[in-house]
Amino acid sequence: MNRRDAGYGAAVVLVTAAAVLLAVLGWGDGGKDPSPAAEDRTASAPADGERPPESPDPDGIPPGPKEPESELKPVTGSFTEREKEYLSGRVPEGNDPAAVLQIGQESCDRIAYLARHDRDMAVSSLILGEITGARDAVTQLCPKQKPLLADAGRGFADGNLRVAAEPEPGKAVAPGSYRAPGPGEDCSWQVFGAGGKELDSGSWSKGAEPRITVPRKAREVSSTGCHAWLNEGDNG
């Protein structure tokens, strides 16, 4: 188990209650990691002619009709303006908005827990989408975590991404210097220029964390097994 996996396992303790709520609301399987990545790892192929069930989008909003804003009221007390903004368009019809709010608050707690123990781990988790609905939770419920969200927006996860002036999560990475704080044993990467010319490549075994520089002339970056790359500045 590497450092990222160990920290991730510890953080799951904080969201046990939220996992139960996810099961009640039909957003996930109680007690299991509700992230899209986990669903991909565990879901089996549907039977012939069977349509796979809908899953929540990366912002944690389930499919189906939602409660109108006029009905977003707790049993006792009232919601703050930030809480109302978070709940708007998010509460499944017929469900308790306070339960949905708790899921967002648990996401904030989980981010804060990771940040206290290892900031790199917190940013990596956001890059990898391991905290469903993190963007809205941070923006509307725990804005003090916005620096983590901003750092995650400048990083990228494994895959094949084009190089562009502005980063675009899951699609494009900006020129600059990057490091992978929690690589797997099979971590490797390549940087390509015009015409598919390889500009750089490497792999990681053990020791210092992997680092790459994406120059401005690069056109594509590819990595596997490195998990998340954190931006260290525009030095491309």
Average pLDDT value for residue range 108-124: 96
- Determine if the pTM surpasses 0.75: no
> Do the Cβ atoms of 12 and 33 come closer than 8 Å?
yes
Confidence of residue 102 (pLDDT cuts 50, 70, 90): very high
Task: Summarize pLDDT for 157-197 with one digit per residue, the tens.
Answer: 999 999 999 888 889 999 999 999 999 999 999 999 999 99
Task: Summarize pLDDT for 9-47 with one digit per residue, the tens.
Answer: 333 333 333 343 444 344 443 334 433 333 332 333 334
Whether 201 has a pLDDT exceeding 90, the answer reads yes
At 145 the pLDDT is 96
Whether 119 has a pLDDT exceeding 70, the answer reads yes
Among 70, 138, 72, which residue's Cα sits nearest to residue 100? 72
The CA R_g of the chain, rounded to the nearest whole Å, is 19
